[in-house]
Amino acid sequence: MAEPTRPPARTVSLRRALRRAVVPGVVGILLAMAIRSLVILVLAVGLHPQLIQLERAADAARDAHDAMLEERAALRAFLATGDETFLTPYLDGVQRVAAADDDLVVALGREGELLPEFLALTERQRAWHEGWAAPAVERVRAEGVGSIDELSVALLDGDRVFAAYQDADARLRQDIATQLDAGTGRFWAVLGLSTVAVLLVGLLSIVALSWGRRRVARQVVAPVSELTAAVERVARGDLSGRVATASPVRELRGLAAGVSAMTSALAERAQTATDREQELVRRSDRLHHVLDLSRELSESLSLRYTSSRLIGAVEELSGAVRVELWLHQHERHVLVRYDPDGADAGVALDVAELVGDDATGAADAVEVGVGAVGRAARYGRAIPLDERRAAGGLDLPQRGVAIPMVIGARVIGVLTLEAAQGTYLDLDLLDAFILQGASALQAARLHGEVEERSRRDALTGLGNRRQFDADLATNVARAARYRRPLALALIDLDHFKRINDTYGHARGDEVLQDVAGLVVEEIRDVDTAYRYGGEELCVLMPETDEADAAEVVERLRRRVAESFAWATDPTVTLSVGVAELGDDADSAALLEEADRALYEAKRAGRNRVERAAAAPVA
């Protein structure tokens, strides 16, 4: 930092310093200015305005002539073709001629001797426009394009009128040029004489100013250079120096103090700008991160993946220690907490699957309109989790909030966010991200529902043949890999055709549905039931050998036989064939063995369970 320089004991004002330096040359300058002013006055009052007006008149006359030529060319084309598009340049030319004539009136206002020629020119223009051009246009519009002879006669007549216009135009332009040349000569003569006089006075002024220059350089220029260097340092970003000067000029000393103050103020503002820039960078990085997270949400149609990414992203963006996702089940008017890390998260899309049929009484379900979660779903707006404290001014939504996920006017779910003790949620940019998340979540949910329906039998709700084939391959591969048992039971409803014929097809469908329900109730959680085709069902039993599988389906057979007391002839019974996967891990062989055992059960009288190991080989 530069040390301040002690100012001189005696100071003067900048005005006085400059007056001392320049007074010797001021007289000469004033004299030269007086001469120059007199000349300028003569030129400005007398010659120059006249020259300007004559130049404008020449330009206007030339513009009017060019416009008339364009009119003539366009009109000849229109008369020859009848094409209305040629009238556009013609009409534009008419407007340009009128504008140029107006400029001529203004420019020739002081040139009275040229007005008669101008009036003659406008008369020739009017004769061509009104006497020939306009009638020719109307005639073609009314009668169409005439013969070549008629066109030739019309064009010759127009050329005659136009030639008269050109003669008047040439005379006017020639007179304007003549007067312009004469005025220009007078202008340069006066200007030359005045220049010589000014040069003589200027030589005297140079001598006087040379002395004053050295004085100004010492008292003004050198200090100003110091100030300039200081300003350049500031421009380069060096805001650390202070400025002082030894000049006796008070204004320069004050300017030095002002530059020092400005430097300090700029340093403070630069620091503020740096802080703001860092904040903008942080917000920009955060926004880019939000966009990246939004794109990640659209990468998968898996409800588990999308929900997990959504919850994780909301936790990251908001700083929440706990985020929960509640899915809205519109048919039941409840919201169900969905855990993407739960065992059934990949397939549970229905409230009944998540919390059972009594969803409104479950701990993980709330009714719409009840509590902060339910109210957020009903009103479609964020609700503080602790509404009593928020209403009393003791809490803020940033401590805990339920935010609805809305698509259009439909609430598809609610996110609850809770901040850590003593902290607040960062809800900036969260609304846009949750809107994107709602779209991704709805897409994943709908995809899951469609995928699930494509693998379910519409009548029984069991897995269909497509699902069975996929699960069979998976279970066989797993059993073979880990050398674990796998059993398959093929189930056939006895005399199902007679049931349909006797009790009706509607009652037959009910029987098939009821039997499917009993199958689901009797098998274990690890077992899976399918509708194999028609009245045939099947059950895959992992970790089960043939004997244990036979016990399970035997219980099922007895329960079915006891559950349809109304069916007397025929009765509702089952025939079941059970087989276990062999050492060859052949799924086709497993199906064949189970089918063989089923055939043996039917052959032996139906309403029984047969094991493949006990069934005779055909």
Provide the annotated active-site residues.
535
Q: What share of the chain is helix, strand, coil (3-state, %, to 5)?
A: 65, 10, 25
Pairing status of strand 608-611 against strand 574-580: parallel
Residue 77: helix, strand or coil by DSSP?
helix
What are the tokens at 174? 């020639």
DSSP 8-state symbol, 32 = H
The Cα–Cα gap between 448 and 459 comes to: 20
CB-based burial, 459-474: b 16+ in 10 Å, e otherwise: ebebbbeebbeebbee
The Cα–Cα gap between 479 and 431 comes to: 48
Q: Are residues 366 and 334 in contact, defined by beta-carbon separation less than 8 angstroms?
A: yes
First to last CA, the chain: 110
Sheet holding 536-542, edge to edge: 528-533, 536-542, 486-493, 574-580, 608-611
Count CB neighbours of 480 within 10 A: 16
**Cα dihedral sign for 337, 340, 345, 346?**
positive
Cα atoms found within 13 Å of the Cα of residue 355, Cβ hemisphere only:
20
Q: What angle do CA 388, 390, 391 make, to 5 degrees?
A: 65
- Residue 85 gets the label, from left (phi > 0), alpha (psi -120 to 50) or beta, of alpha
**What is the phi/psi pair of residue 43, to 5°?**
-70, -40
The Cα–Cα gap between 98 and 288 comes to: 62
Q: Are residues 11 and 248 in contact, defined by beta-carbon separation less than 8 angstroms?
A: yes
Q: What angle do CA 222, 226, 228 make, to 5 degrees?
A: 110
Q: What angle do CA 543, 544, 545 make, to 5 degrees?
A: 130
The Cα–Cα gap between 107 and 56 comes to: 6
DSSP 8-state symbol, 3 = P
Specify which residues 418 forms β-bridges with. Answer: 322, 400
Write down the H helix ranges in 419-504. Answer: 430-454, 465-482, 496-503
Cα atoms found within 13 Å of the Cα of residue 297, Cβ hemisphere only:
24
Specify which residues 336 forms β-bridges with. Answer: 327, 365
Q: Which of 537, 497, 495 is nearest to 513 (CA)?
A: 537
- In the block, residue with structure tokens 């400059």: 18
The DSSP element (H or E) to which 23 belongs, if any, is helix 14-42
The Cα–Cα gap between 537 and 512 comes to: 9
**Burial (Cβ within 10 Å: 0-12, 13-18, ≥19) of residue 483:** exposed
Please give the C-alpha separations between residue 89 and each of 97, 165, 339, 359, 481, in angstroms, as whole numbers. Answer: 12, 20, 76, 81, 90
- Mapping DSSP onto H, E and C, the string for 225-254 reads HHHHHHHHHHHCCCCCCCCCCCCCEHHHHH
The Cα–Cα gap between 546 and 195 comes to: 127
